[in-house]
Amino acid sequence: MRILRCGSAEIADDVDEVADGEIVVALTRDELALFAGGIRESLEEIEDWEFDTRLGVTRSEAREILNHTINVLGSIPLDEWPR
């Protein structure tokens, strides 16, 4: 998971470097927070025995994705968040 800042030359450069298996998605901060909330809710509510069958990833992988997402959200300065 990487951060691509809007209006940055990095976006064009990084898009050329998308690895096999990667997908580039543009989300607002609120959309990313919703995504993180969905993962958190899944971790809390889905039982161990059915977790990887229903979500296609292990609990550990889901926690890793959630942690990356939280780190991305935390790295965005408050003055850059839309109001």
- From first to last of its 83 residues, what are the pLDDT tens digits of the chain? 666 655 555 555 545 677 777 777 888 888 999 999 999 999 999 999 999 999 999 999 999 999 999 998 888 777 776 66
pLDDT for position 66: 97
d(CA 68, CA 66): 5
Note the pLDDT of residue 81: 67
Cα separation, 80 vs 78, in Å, equals 5
What's the pLDDT at 74? Answer: 87
At 30 the pLDDT is: 87
| Integer angstrom CA distances of residue 56 from 50, 59, 74, 81, 82 | 10, 10, 27, 32, 33
